[in-house]
Amino acid sequence: MKLMNSIQEIQSYVAEEKKVGRTVGFVPTMGYLHEGHLSLIERAKNESDLVVVSIFVNPLQFGPNEDFDRYPRDLDRDKKLAEEAGADVLFVPETQEMYPDESVVTVSVNKRVDALCGETRVGHFDGVATVLTKLFHIVSPDFAYFGLKDAQQVAVVQGLVDDFNFPVKVIGCETKRESDGLAMSSRNVYLTEKERKEAVHLSQSLLKAKKWLLDGDSGETEQKMINYLEEHTSGSVEYCKILSYPELLPPTPDTNKLIVAVAVKFSKARLIDNVILDPILLKQGSEEETCSVH
């Protein structure tokens, strides 16, 4: 595996690889890799000739009271894990390399950000879209892999690619979970022992929501989820929402996909989780693979 820090170096390397017809799979991360990230790298390895993984803790997507300075970082560990998972190139730029001067142009996201995390993390997805615009130009991937744990991010990235005509296919990959159902996250390390035991109730609330929706109880599902999480966790429930996906708007009779999403703020970690459902199958009382959070 090659380690690269400069934009010029990775652009030149990828250009040479593409000249001989190699396809590029790209996994952008902020590091502190876990099995969820590794599953993205492994899938990219199966579907691409060259796998590029980036590690960059992007300051533009952190608000003033968020955890940029204490976001977990361990490059030696990440290098080992990325190489074992099949990465060919690890791109690890410094902040000065990515943002040498104050930006003249940044990306502003107009849709799919007025709900869920976008409601409270104002400007977060502008930062995500801006850094991915840069990374897509730098890496020139054919495929880009993202975990569906942050399904709102995947929806925003797909909109970015569609609107700006990037020649890259966005691939959303199933959320990887711990044995008890907790969605894997770099921020899980901040949970206290008590909070870690409570955190399983995020995925449990999604299972219960699926059952309530299958039972035709859609009108009260959001409040029932809130009540359940308030009863079973010490965290602050930020939202429990049922929306259309990927539009992230109130569902209508014509909605093709639903997302049931939850966010809970614990003492030092904010956790999110979701499940994507087919409303037609819900009406039929059917089960399908995407309904499961395990």
246 cis-preceded (ω within 30 degrees of 0)? yes
26 three-state secondary structure:
strand
Pairwise CA distance, residues 68 & 140, whole Å: 27
Out of 37, 124, 232, 294, the active site residue is 37
List binding-site positions.
30-37, 61, 147-150, 153, 184-187
Pairwise CA distance, residues 290 & 294, whole Å: 10
Q: Which helix (H) or strand (E) element contains residue 125?
A: helix 124-139
104: CB partners within 8 A, 6+ apart:
none
List binding-site positions for (R)-pantoate.
61, 153
List binding-site positions for ATP.
30-37, 147-150, 184-187
Find tokens 């955890």 and name the residue. 67
Q: How far is CA 164 from the centre of its chain?
A: 20
Find tokens 């035709």 and name the residue. 216
Query: Is 37 assigned a catalytic role?
Result: yes
* Residues forming the active site: 37
